Amino acid sequence: MKPPKLTEIQKRRLKVLEPKLKVAISNRDFSTAKALVVDLQNLLKPTGHFTRLIQSKNRLYELALEIDELNTAIRGLKSNRAVVNSNTRLYLEATSLLAICYLRQEEIELAKPLIKEVLTNDTVIKSARTRKQFRLEIIDRFNQETALYSLKNKDKEEFTKEELQEQVGKILMSQNESEIYTTLGKSVPQHTKYLLFEVHQYSLKQLPSAERLALPSPEEKIKDKEVGLTVFQSAKRVIYNSLCDKESEIYKVWYTNGMEIILSKGYISSAVLSCFNNIGIGMKLLSASIVALILKFGLEIYCVKNKPSDLMELRGK
């Protein structure tokens, strides 16, 4: 049974609460976002407007995932999946996000049935072209999550910002862009390549043959350059805000004083080192290769081309 039409009071409150929630999520302010979702729940639940409520809850738990509150995200996403129809986009989103939570925990076997649900559902996205595009993008996302978070607390090295900058200089002087991707891939531990092979192979098995053949094979996916590309793309989820947010120190210095100051002070190396340390990634050659690629592109181009998309954006494509 469809819920009744929203009352005028509900409409007025939604015009206030939903934009505030969007801002809180953009600012990664989880406590404010959580309070706003409670207000939305009190507003929408009594009249049975669950679809609109779950949309907001999915966004809240995606934020929880991004700030590494994985247990909160897992509990919430499980709850969302339990109360919405399995043939809805809300269910598809919650399932995809829950799979990502498990990939970040290296719980591959828990992620697999969720990956299968996402990739074999032909009902939610009606357009074959849009469905194919979504699958390509979500497989990329699964691969990136597997690659990045399997690097946590593995083969950690002790090195300073100065040592990192020295390594960056050597790479920039001796390698082109393609070679840097290969160097980056070579710096990745075999453990990560094994997991990437497993997740990519499993994802491909869920696709129709025509879609499967359009993607790299698992063997190709773990070649050094391909791994380097995957890790570089995954790194944006950790470093983008520190480099590109208009309120970040680097962005303000770059906007005011130009790129020369950024380079001379080693701001980018410092930011990447700090972001990776925060999640437990400490590999000098890997970090140096990523910094070198950012410098090859230039900060402005990097920020334009590498803004992370969230899963709620993918569904609307």
Q: Which domains does the chain have, with CATH numbers?
A: 8-124 (1.25.40.10), 161-305 (no CATH)
Question: Lowest mean pLDDT: which of 59-63, 137-141, 158-162, 183-187?
Answer: 158-162
Work out the average pLDDT over 204-216. Answer: 93
Q: For tokens 């809850």, what's the residue?
A: 57
Q: How high is the pLDDT of residue 243?
A: 87
Please state the rounded mean pLDDT for residues 280-289. Answer: 94
**Predicted model pTM:** 0.91
Q: Do 164 and 288 touch, CB atoms closer than 8 A?
A: yes
Average pLDDT along the chain: 91
More confident residue, 128 or 1: 128
* Mean pLDDT to the nearest integer, 139-160: 91
Q: What is the arithmetic mean of pLDDT over 171-190? A: 96
Closest CA relative to residue 41, chosen from 22, 16, 20, 14? 14
Which range among 117-121, 142-146, 267-271 shows the weakest confidence by mean pLDDT? Answer: 267-271
Cα angle 167-172-175, degrees, rounded to a multiple of 5: 110
Is the pLDDT reported for residue 20 higher than 60?
A: yes
Note whether 109 and 101 are within 8 A (CB): no
Mean pLDDT of 200-222: 95
Residue 117: how many other CB atoms lie within 10 Å = 18
Distance CA 90, CA 84 (A): 7
The pLDDT value recorded for residue 244 is 86
